[in-house]
Amino acid sequence: MSTIKTAFGVEDLGCRRVAVIGAGNMGGGIAAQFANAGIAVDLLDRAGPDGVRDAPAEQGLAQQIARQAFMGEAPVSLVRVGNTEDHLERVAEADWIVEVILEDLDLKRALYERIEPLRKPDAIVSSNTSTILRGRLIEGRGAAFQDHFLISHFFNPPRRMALLELIGSEDRVAFDRAAEIGRKALGKTVIECRDTPGFIANRLGCTWLSVAVVEALRLGLTVEEADAVHMAFGVPRTGVFGLLDLVGLDVVKPIWGSLMAALPRTDAINAFDLPGQGVITDLVSAGRFGRKSRAGFFRKSESGALEALDLNSGVYRAHSGFAQKDLPGAGRDLDLLLNNDTASGAYARAVLAQVVGYALTHAGEIAPSLKETDLGMELGYAWRAGPVALWRELSPETQARLRAQMPEGVPFEALATPVVRSGEADRLSRAQAAGQALAQNSSAALWDLGDDVICLDIRSKMHALGPEVFDILEEGVSRLNGAARGMVVGNHNPRVFSAGADLSKMVAWIEGGKWAAIEAFITRGQMVLAALRTAHTPSVAAMRGLALGGGCELAMHCTGTVAHAETRIGLPEHLVGLVPGWGGCRRLLDRARATASHEADLSDRITRAFHAATLEAPAGSAREAGDLALLDPSQPVVMHDDDVFAAALAHLDTLEPRQGAQEVVTLRLDRQAVLSGLLSERETARDEGRITPNAFALQSRIAEIFAAGGAGTSEADLAALESEVFMALVATPETLARIGHMLRTGKPLH
């Protein structure tokens, strides 16, 4: 069994083992996400032929590995496969049993009949159904089973989609426990639903898509124009027709048909009959299901050019290029669009009036409050804001115009109750609201969080590290050596911790020939991070989103880290023609030495550290960053990104100041031997054309630092070597070209 560390807070949940029955795409993904949290999982499916009876579950596990549902290799070992004929008794060990089999009421009921006598008294049982009501599923089961039975509607893929819809009994114990597990172990935002067809997200989402397609046809819009209007609403770039291509047009009839049949004929989803539209039936009949068949509402021609379906003729034509920028006000002013007397304006009014009216009309039926209806669309369909939130943003004049297009009887009185969002009313939010920073400039601020704890809040573009950030960091370190008992480095930005050094400033210095300024910047970064590392009291990096280059190095110099599981961490300096200049290689060497038991072991660990410093892409998760030693794997990983800052504060309370004295080097390797070993594989790759000569030269300079560290070179001499190599590379035209390309495109120059 793997020794993977459980995610932060999971030990307290009382959920040590889970059984997932059904190893298809959804069931396998749910199993993988539980394993990512460090929870052991039994993944069961039907029995295969004799000799390979576990084959269906094994195939499901293999598919999840291929789809990168697991955060690295370690979580995979937590999944034990089996089949429901030979191994169903394993559910007796489970604290949560998740059923993810075919949408067949009789099959599900038969399975529950077998599970009921095996279930532990407090174990949760749930179904991932999206179409069958909870009340029908539990008919015939005992009271204890019914009280512990939930609908747990995950969205696909379970690792990436943040929403989990839960439906429980009047007894809140099982619901509340599942909600806590869903958040802390699975990283989900849980919303409570009523036991009604389609629950919240699919009830609203499917109706929205039906309205959007039918109104586009009625008003004569092109697919490009309709998608552009929805982007103005804050819908992702797929829009409506692109989303249907992504979902698959072949599932429209079964999914929409099932929901439409379950709802009254008077429901709007039946009035806007998506499966009955000729354009849908024609595409499905022609085998044009969308992306899975490489043709739907959009396709690529033989030359690779994007084409769009003409909704009138059914013939593909060149994509018009119409986009959000071509709407009134460039699609940035929703009031302007909704009041514009163009086809796009009429379409925007028709769709938004229907969707807002539908949400208000059915909110009380499907959800405890309007908050849940908005969250369903925001998390289930990636809307920037839910329909009610969009409505509240509109001017009274625009609202009045839309009301005139809504069906009769829309209960606008529901809007009188404010929508209360949980938000982030934590210590940082309160400090920021008070507006009195201990120190601040345009790039960073230092906040007093109370209880002698401070926070470094980087707020430059992409949280890049420049001289102004170092000004505030130095003030923070000074307080760590004074009255502060600890510091958190981080804020509430879910997209980026820090993308590294300020490259635009670097370009300006290079173009101006200000080499002394660059060297001073590197030296200052080395000094301030070293001071952070050796401060009297501890610091914790609260990491979400991207932590690249200097951002990764900043976290490496903190006493501890708390990282969201999906944090992308790496040292990509070589991709812009440079080497890590602020101790990234040195900290990787520290971790290699701390875990090495003999010379050969140290050599192997240095090789792995060199690999981590020369990756073409950042680690795909915090778990994988821990495997690479870019993160200390003993530090907490948090599954829900909104919990990171609070977890960092809790973790800070457990830390002692890290001692700054350099550890005595007991293992020393031959410098040239280490260098040759690190580069032998790269030389082969260069000779075979798998990496360019320029890339090999860059990696050779990084290898020099690791070879020196392996030989026992002092911290000060390694820092000097770092600076020397950095300055040699930054002066080359190739490096300027690489940095410029990265700034322009966001991609490395190969």
| Longest distance between any two alpha carbons in the chain, whole Å | 83
In the chain, the amino acid numbered 627 is D
CA atoms of 268 and 238, how far apart (whole Å): 24
Q: Is the pLDDT of residue 663 over 70?
A: no
CA atoms of 232 and 234, how far apart (whole Å): 5
For the segment 155-171, the average pLDDT, to the nearest whole number, is: 94
Cα separation values, 64 from 19, 60, 74, 164, 183, Å: 16, 6, 14, 19, 22
User: In three state form, how does the secondary structure of 502-553 look?
Assistant: CHHHHHHHHHCCCHHHHHHHHHHHHHHHHHHHCCCCCEEEEECCEEECHHHH
Q: In the chain, helix, strand, coil percent, each to 5?
A: 50, 15, 35
CA atoms of 343 and 219, how far apart (whole Å): 7
pLDDT in tens, 593-610: 998 999 999 999 999 999
| Helix (H) or strand (E) run with residue 570 in it | strand 568-570
Q: Is the pLDDT of residue 2 over 50?
A: no
pLDDT on residue 148? 97
Q: Which residue, among 576, 441, 562, has the nearest Cα to 500 in the 3D structure?
A: 576
Structure tokens at 652: 């800070």
For the segment 218-239, the average pLDDT, to the nearest whole number, is: 96
CA dihedral 485, 490, 492, 494 (to 10 degrees): -150
CA atoms of 567 and 638, how far apart (whole Å): 10
CA atoms of 607 and 586, how far apart (whole Å): 14
| Helix (H) or strand (E) run with residue 179 in it | helix 172-184
Determine what percent of the chain is predicted with pLDDT higher than 70: 98
CA atoms of 375 and 367, how far apart (whole Å): 11
What letter would DSSP give residue 657?
P
Distant-in-sequence contacts of 510-513, Cβ < 8 A, 24+ apart: 510/730, 510/731, 510/735, 510/736, 510/739, 511/736
Distance of CA 552 to the CA centre of its chain: 18
Cα separation values, 364 from 18, 134, 176, 193, 414, Å: 33, 18, 21, 10, 9
User: Is 298:241 a contact under the CB 8 Å cutoff?
Assistant: yes
CA atoms of 113 and 217, how far apart (whole Å): 48
Q: With bands split at pLDDT 50, 70 and 90, how would you rate the model's confidence at 586?
A: very high
CA dihedral for 121, 123, 125, 126, sign (positive or negative): positive
User: Is 144:160 a contact under the CB 8 Å cutoff?
Assistant: no
Q: Exposure string (b/e) for 289-309, b if CB count within 10 Å is 16 or more?
A: bbbebebbbbbeeeeeeebbb
Q: Which residue, among 497, 498, 478, 476, has the nearest Cα to 487 in the 3D structure?
A: 476
Q: In what order do the strands lie in the sheet with 539-543?
A: 439-440, 444-450, 453-458, 486-489, 539-543, 560-564, 637-638
253 by Cβ neighbours in 10 Å (0-12 / 13-18 / 19+) ranks as: middle
| Helix (H) or strand (E) run with residue 165 in it | strand 163-167
pLDDT: is 51 or 8 the higher one? 8
Residues 6 or more apart in contact with residue 702 via CB below 8 angstroms: 574, 579, 580, 585, 610, 613, 614, 725
- Report whether the peptide linkage leading into residue 636 is cis, meaning its omega lies within 30 degrees of zero: no
Q: In what order do the strands lie in the sheet with 40-45?
A: 79-83, 40-45, 17-21, 96-99, 124-127, 149-154, 163-167, 189-192
For the segment 70-75, the average pLDDT, to the nearest whole number, is: 96
Q: How many Cβ atoms sit within 10 Å of the Cβ of residue 104? A: 12
pLDDT on residue 1? 40
Q: With bands split at pLDDT 50, 70 and 90, how would you rate the model's confidence at 665?
A: confident
CA atoms of 438 and 487, how far apart (whole Å): 13
Cα separation values, 160 from 86, 154, 402, 547, 640, Å: 32, 11, 35, 19, 11
Which DSSP string do the residues of 313-377 spell out, in sequence order?
A: T--EEE-----GGGSGGGG--HHHHHT--SHHHHHHHHHHHHHHHHHHHHHHHH-SSHHHHHHHH
**Average model confidence (pLDDT) for the chain?**
94
User: Is 622:564 a contact under the CB 8 Å cutoff?
Assistant: yes
Question: Which residues share a beta bridge with 153?
Answer: 165
Length of the chain: 750
pLDDT in tens, 387-410: 999 999 999 999 999 999 998 889
CA atoms of 736 and 513, how far apart (whole Å): 12
- Residue 123: strand, helix, or coil: coil
Residues 6 or more apart in contact with residue 677 via CB below 8 angstroms: 603, 607
Q: With bands split at pLDDT 50, 70 and 90, how would you rate the model's confidence at 456?
A: very high
Nearest 5 degrees, angle CA 344-CA 349-CA 351?
95
Q: With bands split at pLDDT 50, 70 and 90, how would you rate the model's confidence at 157?
A: very high
Structure tokens at 146: 């019914």
Q: What is the pTM of this model?
A: 0.93
pLDDT on residue 658? 66
pLDDT in tens, 99-120: 999 999 999 999 999 999 999 9
Cα separation values, 241 from 223, 238, 252, 396, Å: 6, 7, 12, 31
- Residue 489: strand, helix, or coil: strand
pLDDT in tens, 178-200: 999 999 999 999 999 999 999 99
Strands 444-450, 453-458: pairing kind: antiparallel
User: Is 494:547 a contact under the CB 8 Å cutoff?
Assistant: no
